[in-house]
Structure 1
C-alpha cells in the first residue's frame, strides 16, 4: 500500500507528540466558565431564502469577548414535535455555505445550524482589534500573548455555545443533538462535542488542528499549516522557543480534548492526506474513549470521500 505516513497498524497505536500543558484541564474549565457567564442574546432573523418545506433564519449570538457570531439556521416547516438538530462546521477560511446545502437534512426532519467562524469567510465578528475578515493565521493568533487569548480558544468555545443554544431551542430534541464537518470543520466537531458533552453523535472528517509538532516534523507545515512555519521564521528563527511554542499550541490541540467526548463518534480519514497528516488525526482518534468507529480510505487524501456524507446521514438516523 502506498503511504505518506506510518503504516496503518502503527497509526492505530500512535498517541501523538505535541506537548500537553500541565494546566490543560484547568485552562478549559476556566474557558468554559467564561463562556457560560456570557449572555448570548440570541437573535433570529428570517432569511429572504425560504422553501415550501423549510424555514431559514440568520441566527446571531454573542460569544466570548463580545463577538457577535452568525449561523445559518434551517428547520423543517410545520414540525409538530421535537426533532434532531445537526450543528455543521466549515473548512478553514470558509463559511457556512449555501442554504440549499442544508435542505437534505431538513427533508429528513432535522434542523440544521451552520456556524460562520469568527474572522473567516462568513459574517461572524472577530473582536481581536478589528471587525470583519482576518481569513487565516488563526492557529498562531495570540501565540505571543497570554494563552487565554488564543483565537482558536474562542472559536472552540463558539462551537460549544452554539450547541448549547441548539439544545435549548423548543423545537429540538435535546437527546438528538449531532455535529459534523470536514478539515477545520472536523476539528470543530471534536471541539464542540468535547466542550459540550450533551452532543450525542458526531462525524468528523479528516480533522485539522491536532498534533501540530508531528505536522512540523513531517515537513508538512505548509498549505493549511503554513502559518506554523511562518511564525517560526518571523518570531523564532533559531527555534530557541520551540518547546514553549508547541506547548502553548497544546492548549488548542484537539488530541488533548478528545477524551472529554461522550457522544458516539464516526470519523473518516484518508491515508494519503498531506494537508492534515493521518498520524495527527489518529492521535486524536486514539484518545477518544467514547463509542467510536473509524472509516479508512487508503487511496484518498484531503478531498471528497465517496460515500462519507451518505454514511454520516445514516449514522445520524441511527442506522449504523
Structure 2
C-alpha cells in the first residue's frame, strides 16, 4: 500500500476535529473515584519459569468495578532495591501471554509490569486470563462497539480504569520505584498508554507506538480496516446512531487524553499504516501537552511500524527519564 493519508508536512500541523465533552474531566474523576472505593488488593505470586535472569510474579489486582485483573511483574533476578518501572499495555486481541515473552525491559535493569486486557487474549500471542464480566447492549463482534450506547457503558471505560489501577498495583510492590514510572505500549497498548498519560499525573515518560483509539471522527471514515471498521459496520446496521456513537467515543479519544499529558513522550507513526492511520497518530502527538515530545516516523511501514527499530529508539530515549 502506497501513502494514502496526508503528506508528512501536513501531518505535522494536523489537528483533530474531535469535540471534547464538557464533562470529560468530571467523567473520569468520578470513574476513578468509584474504582478506588474497591480495595486494590494487589497480590504478587512468584512463579517458576525456568528463566535464570529474571524473577516473575503472577499478579492479580482489582480493576474497574473491583473485577480481578491479571498481569505479570518481571524483575531482574538480582533485584534488591526499588527499580525504575515500565508498565506496558498490549495490542488489540492479545493478552499478557507467557512470561518469557517479556524479557526486554527487565534486561535493562528495570521492573516490568504487563497488564492483561479484560476479555481479550484469544486472537494472537500466548493468551490472556482476565474476563470482562460486564454485559451490554447489542454490539458488532469485537470490542469497539461494546457499550457504545453510552459513555458509562463503553468497554474502554473499564479498560482505561484497569490501566490506571495497574499502575497503582505495580507501584505497590516494594521493588518498584513509583517516582520513576513509564507507561508504554503499541497499537491498542499505545492508546491505553495515552489514556494513562492523561489520567496519571506523575509519570516520568510515556511512549505510545502507532497508537490506536485516536481521532475517532477521522479514523472511522478514513480506513476500512479493523478494528476501526467495527464501528462503521455497527453503524451500517444501526442507522442514524452516528452522532450518539461519536459522542460516546469522544470520552475515550486519545486526542483528549493527550491534551492532559504531563510527561515527556515518544510517539511513533508509520506512513502506510491503514490500521492506525498516521493522521490519527499525529492528531494525538500534536495535542500532547508536555513540551518535551518527539515522534519517530517510518516512511514505508504499515502497522508493524518500527518494530525492533522502535524498541531500540525507546531504549535510547528512556535513558534520560527512568
| Alignment TM-score > 0.5, same fold | yes
Counterpart for residue 51 of structure 1: 51
Give the C-alpha shift of residue 172 in structure 1: 1.3
Counterpart for residue 211 of structure 2: 207
Contact 2:210 2:270 in 1 (8 A): yes
Counterpart for residue 197 of structure 2: 193
**What pairs with 1:163-182 in structure 2 (closer than 5 Å)?**
163-182=167-186
Counterpart for residue 77 of structure 2: 77
Counterpart for residue 294 of structure 1: 295
Give the C-alpha shift of residue 98 in structure 1: 3.1
**What pairs with 1:60-99 in structure 2 (closer than 5 Å)?**
60-99=60-99
Q: In structure 2, what is the Cα distance between the partners aligned to 1:101 and 1:318?
A: 26
Which of residues 116, 125, 132 is equivalent to 1:126? 132
Q: In structure 1, what is the Cα distance between the partners aligned to 2:154 and 2:321?
A: 39
What SS does structure 2 have at the residue aligned with 1:204? strand
Calculate the aligned-residue CA RMSD, in Å.
2.1
Q: In structure 2, what is the Cα distance between the partners aligned to 1:118 and 1:268?
A: 25
Counterpart for residue 158 of structure 1: 162
The answer to whether residue 143 in structure 2 is matched with residue 138 in structure 1 is yes
Q: In structure 1, what is the Cα distance between the partners aligned to 2:259 and 2:19?
A: 16
Give the C-alpha shift of residue 115 in structure 1: 0.8
Q: In structure 1, what is the Cα distance between the partners aligned to 2:294 and 2:133?
A: 38
The answer to whether residue 227 in structure 2 is matched with residue 224 in structure 1 is yes
What SS does structure 2 have at the residue aligned with 1:267? strand
Residue by residue over 1:21-68, the C-alpha shift from the partner in whole angstroms, topping out at 9 and shown as x without a partner, is 222121111112122222111112222314222111110011112321
- Structure 1 unaligned segments of length 5 or more: list them: none
Runs of 4+ with deviation above 4 angstroms: none
What SS does structure 1 have at the residue aligned with 2:112? strand
The answer to whether residue 251 in structure 2 is matched with residue 251 in structure 1 is yes
Which of residues 233, 238, 252 is equivalent to 1:235? 238
Contact 2:140 2:146 in 1 (8 A): no
Give the C-alpha shift of residue 167 in structure 1: 2.2
What SS does structure 2 have at the residue aligned with 1:112? strand
What SS does structure 2 have at the residue aligned with 1:104? coil
Counterpart for residue 125 of structure 2: none
Counterpart for residue 107 of structure 1: 107
What SS does structure 1 have at the residue aligned with 2:51? coil
Contact 1:157 1:195 in 2 (8 A): no
The answer to whether residue 322 in structure 2 is matched with residue 317 in structure 1 is no
Q: In structure 2, what is the Cα distance between the partners aligned to 1:136 and 1:266?
A: 32
Give the C-alpha shift of residue 12 in structure 1: 1.3
Residue by residue over 1:108-156, the C-alpha shift from the partner in whole angstroms, topping out at 9 and shown as x without a partner, is 21111111100001111201149xxx99622211112x32121101101
Distance 1:256 1:230, change over 3 A: same
Contact 1:76 1:110 in 2 (8 A): yes
What SS does structure 2 have at the residue aligned with 1:73? strand
